[in-house]
């Protein structure tokens, strides 16, 4: 990861955590405390944060504008919908599970709720999610490789990342997608993420698709699978009735933010 990418990742972590310690930043960025302190000095001079003993805190002005919205899709979900989807998703995880957490703000929101489950082993390529995952799991495996920046979120991808998934198996994989269509299936826009998800599908006993209602009837550039290949979807309460009916007729489990 280049310095500019590390600084962007650091800023993302501070925005989310508001207050963060140097040890967490060193672990998330895989750099020394000397390097982290240098980045903190730079960001303090820019007025982005204020250094404190052993860490840093987000400046109030930045805090007011940061993450009032989350930048995954063109049509933004309300924060409560994101929370509801994440809460439903974490309810599918059992103590002791091994799971994969993929890209997207829904996966990031899920990572923030892992404290509700114990003794987890987590594999992820979601750089933004690492600070939330690390304190709440038994083991964390971060997939290295190239870095893809998508709408302000950062993910590892590429051949090196895929090679690290060899000989690994997880019980549940949680993935975000760019499109869900009854005719075309489940799709994503970035080929790099498509490659990762394709591999994750192969090494997972169960794949859980996290998708806002706004992703329905949209088609990305790269097809992952037909809709009925996955047996669990989690969405929000505004999911179109035709999709609820589609899932019901095919014995596909669909969780929304209210009972259907």
Q: Domain with 245 in it: what CATH number?
A: 3.40.50.1360
129 and 32 part of one domain: no
> 3-state DSSP call for residue 106?
helix
Q: What integer best gives the mean pLDDT of the chain?
A: 85
Question: Quick one: pLDDT at residue 60?
Answer: 66
pLDDT grade for 13, boundaries at 50, 70 and 90:
confident
Do residues 88 and 51 share a domain?
no
Domain that holds residue 26: 3-65
H/E stretch holding 248: helix 241-249
Cα–Cα dist 110/206, whole Å = 17
Number of structural domains found in the chain: 2
In a domain, 73, yes or no: no
pLDDT top residue among 85 and 7: 85
Asked whether the CA dihedral 237, 239, 245, 247 is positive or negative, the reply is negative
pLDDT at site 63: 52
pLDDT > 90: percent of the chain: 43
> Using CA atoms, how far apart are residues 50 and 154, in angstroms rounded to an integer?
24
Q: Which residue among 39, 65, 91 closes a domain?
A: 65
Mean pLDDT of 158-171: 90
Q: Residues 56, 163: one domain?
A: no
pLDDT digit string (tens) for 32-47?
999 999 989 888 888 8
* Digit-coded pLDDT (tens) for 218-244: 998 999 999 999 999 999 888 889 999
How much is the pLDDT for 7?
80
Record the tokens describing residue 209, joined without a space: 């698709």
241 and 128 share one domain? yes
| For residue 104, pLDDT beyond 80 | yes
Backbone torsion region of residue 54, taken as left when φ is above 0, otherwise alpha when ψ lies between -120 and 50, otherwise beta = left
Confidence band for 120, pLDDT divided at 50, 70 and 90: very high
pTM of the model: 0.69
pLDDT at 2: 61
At residue 66, does pLDDT exceed 60? no
The reply to whether 246 and 137 lie within a common domain is: yes
Predicted pLDDT at 182: 93
The candidate with the shortest Cα–Cα distance to 56, out of 70, 67, 72, 43, is 43
Q: Which CATH number covers residue 48?
A: 1.10.10.10
207 and 124 within one domain: yes
Statement: residue 75 has pLDDT above 50: no
> When comparing pLDDT for 76 and 144, which is higher?
144
Res 76: pLDDT: 46
Q: What is the pLDDT of residue 238?
A: 86
Please give the pLDDT value at position 98.
Answer: 96
**Token pair of 165, please?**
């998934």
The stretch 40-63 carries a mean pLDDT of 82
Average pLDDT over residues 69-86: 62
Average confidence (pLDDT) over 179-197: 91
């Amino acid at each position: 990861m280049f310095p500019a990418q590390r600084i962007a990742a650091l800023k993302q972590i501070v925005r989310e955590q508001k207050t963060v310690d140097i040890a967490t930043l060193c672990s998330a960025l895989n750099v020394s405390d000397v390097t982290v302190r240098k980045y903190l000095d730079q960001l303090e001079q820019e007025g982005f944060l204020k250094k404190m003993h052993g860490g840093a805190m987000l400046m109030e002005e930045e805090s007011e504008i940061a993450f009032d919205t989350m930048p995954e899709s063109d049509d933004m979900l309300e924060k409560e919908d994101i929370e509801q989807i994440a809460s439903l998703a974490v309810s599918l995880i059992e103590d002791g599970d091994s799971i994969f957490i993929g890209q997207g703000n829904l996966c990031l929101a899920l990572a923030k709720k892992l404290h509700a489950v114990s003794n987890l082993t987590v594999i992820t390529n979601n750089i933004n999610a690492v600070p939330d995952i690390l304190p709440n799991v038994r083991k964390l495996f971060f997939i290295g490789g190239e870095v893809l920046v998508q709408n302000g979120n950062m993910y590892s991808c590429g051949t090196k990342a895929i090679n690290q998934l060899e000989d690994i198996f997880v019980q549940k994989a949680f993935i975000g997608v760019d499109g869900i269509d009854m005719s075309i299936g489940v799709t994503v826009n970035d080929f790099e993420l498509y490659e990762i998800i394709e591999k994750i599908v192969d090494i997972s006993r169960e794949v859980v698709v996290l998708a806002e209602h706004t992703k329905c009837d949209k088609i990305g550039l790269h097809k992952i699978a037909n809709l009925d290949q996955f047996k669990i979807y989690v969405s929000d309460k505004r999911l179109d009735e035709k999709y609820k009916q589609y899932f019901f007729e095919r014995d596909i489990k669909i969780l929304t933010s209210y009972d259907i």
